[in-house]
């Protein structure tokens, strides 16, 4: 092999060495030209747009020439007609702006981040408020909406919706709707909704059917092992717990987490009212086909269930009170929000950013949000639109509204939230395992907490930080592992 490498090298060197003869000169010239072209091409391909974010406090004047903006969205099939209609209206109102959209059905978070780092993100992302805040805004990829829009504009939104898109007093997106989960039940199996978890278990036991060792009708279809952590948060609150403290430290390693995990797992192992290993597609299928009494889902799927079971057979109510604690489960109440990517991440011109702001204002307006309500049952974020929806007295809408407005919690948008989802899935699956891999609920809670802390430290998320400089550490009076709890203690 060495011999071959040496021989190859000497051949190449011999070939590259200019000698007499026009053909050799031609070879060298071609090689040089190709390398130069490739080098230029490679440089252009990997060139990243640099520069600071556009932080103008006043919008540029309306452009008299055409402005084009792009939108990434992943609206459902029921929402999409409303989106298209709104697009048409917008272009009729803003004749110098043309909007092209991309249906971003692949996992949007990783795609948008990669695109933004390369300076090729779209002008607008329509996505979840927690991701936009905890990742995009945190890393400086979004426009500060507050700098472009008069503060009185935001008074039209429900306070919960506005808090979903606000971080440290800065609004980073326009809220398009509010959403969360509630208890959805099949009235043919569960005529009246349970008020407490003990009632829920009793009702579930009455309707659960096991044939030939298989659960053909399940009382509760939840699926802790494939939850991912989103719906679990509601139950955690019902047992008196929460994910993060006010200073941003994780508070998962608590008795509340242990009790919540054990309760949900007991639905399978003790009460035998739900099968093991349910995926989301399975519990949805079970409910749609009338083989599940109770699920916990949001308004984004309600049209599917109403169509499958009939509107008279689907009920929505707040999640039942946890009998052990007397507390209500409080699901995250988040928003789908319209975020504007800044110049650094999208290469947008000032005119494009202006057009994108106008697009956000237009879409997150009463008229458009009511279109989404009519098409897909999306709850508006504009207060007057929400009041209108409540006034319609639709029973399932009333159920969601009661949960959202009375028994919910703010969908936190701090960066450390990103480090909760993966360890939750990892350690809960070990907790649920019924063999040598099994760990206790207490161990799972501790492991999840530890994983979040380690990720926060690794990624320099406040209040954790890496003190690389010993002198600085001495000055702070803190060791490498100590927790800093105030901004003054953070190392810049």
Partner 1 sequence: MEDAHAGLLFSIRRNWRAYVYLLPMIVVLLFLNLYPIAYTFYISLTDFGSGGPNSFFNVKFIGLSNYFHIFYSSYYLPQTIALLQNSVVWATGSIAIFIPLGLLLASLLNQPIRGKWIYRTVILIPWAMPAFISLLTWENMLNYEYGIVNSFLNLLHLPSVNWLGGSPLDVWSALFLTNTWLSFPFYTIVFLAAMQAIPSELYESAQIDGAGTWRMFSRITVPYILPTVLFVGITGWLFTFNNFYPIYLLTSGGPGFTSEIFVVEIYQTAFQDYSFAIAATYSVINFLILLVVAVIAIKYARLTQGWLK
- The residues binding partner 1 (CB under 8 A) are 7, 10-11, 14-15, 23, 27, 30-31, 34-35, 38, 41-42, 45-46, 50, 107, 109-110, 113-114, 116-117, 135, 138-141, 212-215, 225, 275-279, 282, 344, 415, 418-419, 421-422, 425-427, 429-430, 432-437, 439, 450, 454-455, 458-462, 465, 468
Query: Cβ closer to partner 1: 223 or 318?
Result: 223
Q: How many CB atoms lie within 10 A of CB 334?
A: 27
Q: How far is the CB of 295 from partner 1 (least distance, A)?
A: 16
Q: How far is the CB of 71 from partner 1 (least distance, A)?
A: 22
Contact assessment for residue 170 and residue 300, using Cβ atoms and an 8 Å cutoff: no
Classify 83 as helix, strand or coil.
helix
CA distance 278 to 173: 35
Q: How far is the CB of 31 from partner 1 (least distance, A)?
A: 6
Q: How far is the CB of 114 from partner 1 (least distance, A)?
A: 8
CA distance 390 to 252: 35
Q: How far is the CB of 439 from partner 1 (least distance, A)?
A: 8
Q: How far is the CB of 470 from partner 1 (least distance, A)?
A: 14
Query: Cβ closer to partner 1: 439 or 478?
Result: 439
**CB within 8 Å of 245: residues ≥ 6 apart:** 251
Dmax over Cα atoms in the chain, in whole Å?
96
Query: Cβ closer to partner 1: 342 or 371?
Result: 342
Contact assessment for residue 297 and residue 181, using Cβ atoms and an 8 Å cutoff: yes
**CB within 8 Å of 307: residues ≥ 6 apart:** none
How many residues does this entry show for the chain?
492
Indicate the angle between helix axes 80-93 and 366-376, nearest 10 degrees. 160
Query: Cβ closer to partner 1: 196 or 459?
Result: 459
Rounded to the nearest 10°, the torsion over CA 361, 363, 364, 369 is: 150
Query: Cβ closer to partner 1: 243 or 462?
Result: 462
Query: Cβ closer to partner 1: 13 or 392?
Result: 13
Query: Cβ closer to partner 1: 311 or 440?
Result: 440
**CB within 8 Å of 20: residues ≥ 6 apart:** none
Q: How far is the CB of 284 from partner 1 (least distance, A)?
A: 14
CA distance 478 to 97: 54
| C-alpha closest to that of 219 among 304, 306, 278 | 278
């Amino acid at each position: 092999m060495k011999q071959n490498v040496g021989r190859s090298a000497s051949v190449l060197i011999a070939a590259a060495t200019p000698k007499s003869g026009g053909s050799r000169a031609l070879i060298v010239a071609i090689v040089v030209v190709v390398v130069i072209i490739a080098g230029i091409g490679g440089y252009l391909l990997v060139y990243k747009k640099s520069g600071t974010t556009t932080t103008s406090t006043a919008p540029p004047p309306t452009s008299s020439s055409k402005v084009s903006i792009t939108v990434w969205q992943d609206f459902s099939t029921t929402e999409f007609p409303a989106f298209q209609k709104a697009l048409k209206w917008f272009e009729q109102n803003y004749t110098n702006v043309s909007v092209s959209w991309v249906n971003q059905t692949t996992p949007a978070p990783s795609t948008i981040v990669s695109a933004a780092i390369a300076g090729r993100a779209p002008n607008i992302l329509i996505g979840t408020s927690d991701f936009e805040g905890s990742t995009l805004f945190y890393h400086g990829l979004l426009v500060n909406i507050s700098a472009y829009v008069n503060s009185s504009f935001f008074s039209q939104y429900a306070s919960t919706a506005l808090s979903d898109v606000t971080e440290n007093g800065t609004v980073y997106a326009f809220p398009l709707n509010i959403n969360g989960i509630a208890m959805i039940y099949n009235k043919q199996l569960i005529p009246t909704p349970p008020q407490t978890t003990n009632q829920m278990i009793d009702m579930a036991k009455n309707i659960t059917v096991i044939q030939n060792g298989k659960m053909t009708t399940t009382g509760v279809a939840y699926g802790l092992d494939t939850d991912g952590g989103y719906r679990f948060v509601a139950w955690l609150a019902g047992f008196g717990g929460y994910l993060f403290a006010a200073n941003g430290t994780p508070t998962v390693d608590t008795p509340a987490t242990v009790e919540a995990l054990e309760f949900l797992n007991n639905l399978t192992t003790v009460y035998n009212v739900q099968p093991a290993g349910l995926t989301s597609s399975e519990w949805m299928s079970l409910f749609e086909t009338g083989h599940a009494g109770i699920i916990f889902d949001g308004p984004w799927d309600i049209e599917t269930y109403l169509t499958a079971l009939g509107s008279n057979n689907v009920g929505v109510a707040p999640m039942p009170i946890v009998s052990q604690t007397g507390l209500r489960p409080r699901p995250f109440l988040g928003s789908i929000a319209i975020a504007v990517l800044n110049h650094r991440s999208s290469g947008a011109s000032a005119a494009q950013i202006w057009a994108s702001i106008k697009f956000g204002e237009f879409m997150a307006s009463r008229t458009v949000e009511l279109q989404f309500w009519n098409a897909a049952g999306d709850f508006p974020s504009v207060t007057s639109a929400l009041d209108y929806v409540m006034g319609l007295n639709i029973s399932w809408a009333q159920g969601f509204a009661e949960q959202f407005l009375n028994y919910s919690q703010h969908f936190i948008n701090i960066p450390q939230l990103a480090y909760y989802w993966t360890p939750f899935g990892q350690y809960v699956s070990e907790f649920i395992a019924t063999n040598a891999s099994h760990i206790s609920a207490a161990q799972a809670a501790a492991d999840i907490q530890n994983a979040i802390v380690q990720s926060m430290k690794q990624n320099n998320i406040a209040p954790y930080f890496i003190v690389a400089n010993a002198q600085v550490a001495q000055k702070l009076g803190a060791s490498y592992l100590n927790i800093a709890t105030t901004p003054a203690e953070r190392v810049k």
